[in-house]
Structure 1
Amino acid sequence: MTVRNQTISAAPAPRRPQGRPRRLTLDKIIDTACEIGIDRLDMAGLAAKLGTGVATLYGYVDNYDHLIHLTLQRLGQSTLIVDHGQSWQAVLREHAASIFAVYRRHPQLIGHMMDGTRRTLADIVYFDHVVKLLVDRGIAPVDALSLYFEVNQITAGAAVGLHYRASAEAAAGGPDALREELVAACDASGLPALREGFAATGLPPALGDYQRALERLIAEHESTTT
């Protein structure tokens, strides 16, 4: 009797469901993008790290620029300030120092933050946490909101000044060379007031320093609550 060899086919592997993976969320995508880092971030690499396809990511973000925008926003939101009974003044100083450090490391965020239409849950949680810390210390909610945004304006402006100073000094060959360049430009244009100022200090020391303006803001609010 001849026994014919039979080939037993393996059961077909289950097909991966189409569409978004169940555990994938926008927050997970942005968290992973932050882990990769802005300098190395691309859609293909992000999809591979998440174990999904590039097409799936487009169900969560509009395009690569949108991804960069959200990632920079997330980088701009530091870890929550620990409540250890510090004063409202200390809360504002911690908040300012934290976000200024982010603007310093990621200057791209300064431009991207001007689009206030796209927020993630982490952004809102951080925002609410800072405001709540202020309210818990006796600051009226409307004033807490105002202080939060005023601090953000101060630190963003200081960060712009910081990066401007660094770029200008690098292009001129150093602080002294920049001062000489500015003085010469004022002489050539007949600008005596500017010349006197630049000759004394070059670019003003306050450029890139958020702390002076922050302390004035705190002092102003202290004067209205005493």
Structure 2
Amino acid sequence: MTRDQFELLAPGGDLDSIKAAIAAGADAIYCGLDRFNARNRATNLTLDNLNGVLTLAHQHSCKIFLTLNVLILESEIPAIVRLLSQLNTTKIDGVIVQDLGLAYILKHHFPDLDVHASTQLNTHNEGQILFLNQLTVSRVNLSRELNIDEIKHLAQFGREHNVMMEVFVHGSYCIGFSGICYISSARNGASGNRGRCSQPCREQYETTKTGNNYPLNMKDNSAFGDLKALADAGVYSLK
């Protein structure tokens, strides 16, 4: 496996973390604003400092992808359209979306913005990739529940249809399928699809027969040992 076999896509929240990712050699960084972002409770950028971030990143040959990866309410459509109009005047390298209606708006009204499908879309089969391709999505972050053989198959299928594949190789796992977990919403009124997941799966519950007080808390993702297999599978970006 060689370094040029894949893109290294790192998370960024505030300016310090973005600078750290650039210094560490990230090829691209995904980050969000203070609205329409699945990491709503984290520190995020403002639209005012986005241009500075783009300038800094591009000086170091690093791309910036903006997360708009929540479900959009009908009442928010005017605001998201205004934001897309502003982004269209920047040098943003791509936007990451969950809402298919937003992808439709981007296709028909902002075709110059490169669109990526969030893991929140839970993409795990060929039909989904074909559908997203019709919406001019250029890359897809595959469902975290897939195994290596499934990833390899979909990466090959994606190449045949000019859709690049991303996979997560680091970070937390959810006990539910990404984008269709409603535990936080039902328990605390905080929807993960609106960027407000309260992570009830991380909490302590009544002891089970196995003696596990955290039955919903999965081990974090660490695919370091699988990097060669993922690169050989044809995955474009490791996130």
- The TM-score with structure 1 as length reference comes to 0.27
Higher helix share: 1
The structure, 1 or 2, with the larger RCO (C-alpha pairs under 8 Å, 6+ apart) is 2
Q: Which has the larger radius of gyration?
A: 1
Structure that is richer in strand per residue: 2
Give me the TM-score of the superposition, normalised by structure 2.
Answer: 0.26
